[in-house]
């Protein structure tokens, strides 16, 4: 019975993250080959807040996109975070002249660009590089995730 989990969730080998299509594209623009993401070791992270539960985030964004709800609070939150990240990262990289075009692209992006993606993060490939840094026990962050360390399982 070596390496057989003793109970469901024991020995979790993956994490789950919900990203939007546009967030992934902006991430690729800012840091080619590397991704920043928050993730949970459970798809339905019951002991996390809703904003740290991949299942909840996926459900809210998918519903907003399908309904064309561009004014949905979660869509606005994602958009705001992207605008902040673009400004911060481009300034830090000495690319301030790129900021207006990048921000205009985010501001004018159609609702379909907020289509959620569910990522399965391979924990054995990122061991020692992710940290739990927030108020919830199943919320982790990695700032240098590589494309071969996760797979998009729902788009």
Q: What are phi and psi of 8, to 5 degrees?
A: -55, 135
CA-based R_g, the chain, Å = 16
- Is 146 a domain residue? yes
> Per residue in 6-41, pLDDT tens?
445 555 699 999 999 999 999 999 999 999 999 999
- Is 88 a domain residue? yes
The number of folded domains in the chain is 1
- Is 56 a domain residue? yes
Domain that holds residue 26: 15-154
- Is 3 a domain residue? no
Mention every residue, 6+ apart, whose C-beta is less than 8 A from residue 42: 9, 12, 16, 138
> Per residue in 53-77, pLDDT tens?
999 999 999 999 999 999 999 999 9
Q: Would you state the pLDDT for residue 135? A: 84
- Is 8 a domain residue? no
Tell me the pTM. 0.89
- Is 7 a domain residue? no
Mention every residue, 6+ apart, whose C-beta is less than 8 A from residue 117: 18, 19, 20, 21, 24, 152, 154, 155
């Amino acid at each position: 019975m070596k390496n057989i989990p003793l109970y469901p969730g024991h020995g979790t080998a993956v994490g789950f993250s919900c990203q939007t299509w546009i967030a992934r594209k902006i991430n690729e623009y800012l840091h080619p080959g590397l991704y920043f993401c928050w993730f949970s070791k459970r798809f339905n992270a019951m002991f996390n807040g809703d904003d740290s539960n991949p299942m909840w985030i996926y459900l809210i964004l998918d519903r907003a996109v399908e309904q064309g709800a561009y004014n949905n609070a979660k869509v606005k939150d994602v958009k705001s975070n992207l605008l902040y990240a673009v400004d911060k990262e481009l300034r830090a990289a000495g690319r301030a002249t790129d900021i207006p075009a990048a921000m205009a692209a985010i501001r004018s992006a159609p609702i379909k660009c907020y289509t959620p993606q569910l990522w399965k993060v391979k924990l054995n490939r990122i061991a020692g590089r992710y940290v739990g840094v927030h108020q919830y026990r199943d919320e982790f962050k990695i700032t240098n995730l590589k494309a071969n360390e996760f797979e998009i399982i729902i788009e």
